[in-house]
Chains A and B, each alone.
Chain A
């Protein structure tokens, strides 16, 4: 079954404690991205990757890091989380072929206290 898997689904952490949210896809997609979803602001892209070892900033990259060492994995790293990073996070992947859909993970609800 084609899917994007994020872990964990829920996470509560304290300010400043480094954390990683994992994302893995089994569709051999080149393109992967991270979004955060906040009330009234829709989906905002954090980082994206067009292939292995190729990453670039999205609209709201501050406070986040990513890496793409393997095609299937695209972890999101918060080196020093702050309360304003409390949000719902989604990972997505898509093929580079035009017109194909993006597949989304189930989301990670992060609370930073």
Chain B
């Protein structure tokens, strides 16, 4: 079946630190992979996505590369800011389930000045 596993939180970093949030997936075929971000009190919004192997999604200084060989889609940012404090969800969608979405449990990030 399809599933997503992401690293447990919470994660606390100082401003300008390097961020990595690990995400691995299980799926048949060629799923599309996503990172969503949820700011306090808001709904989820798309941060970045990748639709095929070796694609790199990027947005707002965040990056993630679709690695089929390791079934991973780790989120990285070189220098986090206080405004990056949020919950981050890794997700996949797969054609073999009508493009239904599967989400990880979310990783809470707090960036302190």
Report yes or no: A97 in contact with B49, Cβ–Cβ below 8 A. Answer: no
A33 to B102, CA, bound (A): 11
Where chain B touches its partner, the secondary structure class is strand
- The interface-forming segment of B20-28, B77-85, B103-111 is B103-111
Q: In this assembly, does B101 line the interface, its C-beta being within 8 Å of a C-beta of chain A?
A: yes
A106 to B39, CA, bound (A): 11
Chain B contact residues (Cβ within 8 angstroms of A): what range? 20 to 34
Residues of A within 8 A of B18 (CB): none
Residues of A within 8 A of B42 (CB): 106-107
Report yes or no: B43 in contact with A90, Cβ–Cβ below 8 A. Answer: yes
**Which residues of B line the A interface, CB within 8 A?**
32, 34, 36, 42-46, 49, 51, 89, 91, 93, 95, 98-101, 103-106
**Which residues of A line the B interface, CB within 8 A?**
4, 31, 33, 35, 40-43, 48, 50, 90, 92, 94-102, 104-107
